[in-house]
A and B are shown apart, each in its own frame.
Chain A
Amino acid sequence: MKLLDRAGWIEDPFVRDGADANLLPIEAAREALGRVRPLGIEVPPTADPDSLVGLFNQVDLIAVRFPGHRDGRGFSIGRALRELGFTGRLRASGELIPDHFAFALACGFDEVEIDEARAARQPVEQWLAAAGVIGPTYQSVRDGRRSIFAARRAA
């Protein structure tokens, strides 16, 4: 798997397999709570964001699964997690394409995790270019941009 954020490829400090695994499916993570740090949990696209609030102080990363390039549930989950107060690392993991990147960042994700084959077909330059291609945004977003409505208000 390859990991990138808005600056390019990055090393993944989280490990899924082996004795030192610290990125765990939500069920397996429950017993590691308080014992393992940093700790990441992986949640499916069916996750109820409300049910995760109790874990916010005990996990450092939440990875949301995107099972297909047409499946946008993860965007709502990510945004809801931020609204509910999660301040740790937020990862979109799975079948994303570069054209999803800007939306993921806008919804509060920090990073995207894709498989090696996709990383070879869609190299990091394409992700970074896609992330910045649309300048303004009408929506209130979490990627540092001010919304058009806010900009008009300030003008």
Chain B
Amino acid sequence: MTQRDQMSGSHDCGGDAAAYVLGALEGQELEAFRTHLEQCAVCRDEVDAFGGVVNVLPIAAPQQRASRGLRRRVMREVRKEPRRAAHPGRFGWSLSALGGRAWAVGGAACAVVAAAVVVGLTVSSGGGATVVPARVIGIAGTAQLRLTNGHAELVVHHLTPPGRRRVYEVWLQRGSSAPVPASVLFAVSADGDADVRLPTRLHGVSTVMVTSEPLGGTSKPTHAPVIVARLD
């Protein structure tokens, strides 16, 4: 542990760690503590130690049997939605290099390049697949949506991981209405790659977004999107 680690500003070291692992911090206080955690080994140690305690708290709940009906409903939905695992780098025609250059030009020029990429791939795929490049904002990596017969896959490469105890969550926005969860959470491989199928068709959806959220996801985005793909 370095001196910089230990002396990380004016934050009250350890004062928020317990509240953090209990999920009792929110808003700016939560963000400030997350930022502080990246620099403070003392608080990281305390979070790890308290995290072990919080992990066993659930078994303090009186144990009960989940109903057969619940098990049936869950497994029925699971079997209805055969899921493909994330296969990093599965596509031989990966656009990461081309996409990376496209994002560098920015603004209107970026849109033109992106449109050219879409057209080029639509033609080259030959299977009716359309690839929509997505903007990656504030983190490293590239992303695109692959649309086939109304179904969509989000493919990311070299994306920055979502962080400890966090996950990427996908949102769908129709027009100017509030984004709704796509019921898709994902992490990335060690190389930052993932290939995620969206469970719903994108009829009427104007924008697909991705935010970093706590493990388990949320019902409303709590952060600015890190990936944005516009479909209109």
On whether the two chains bind one another, the answer is no
Listed in ascending order, the chain B residues whose CB lies under 8 Å from chain A are: none
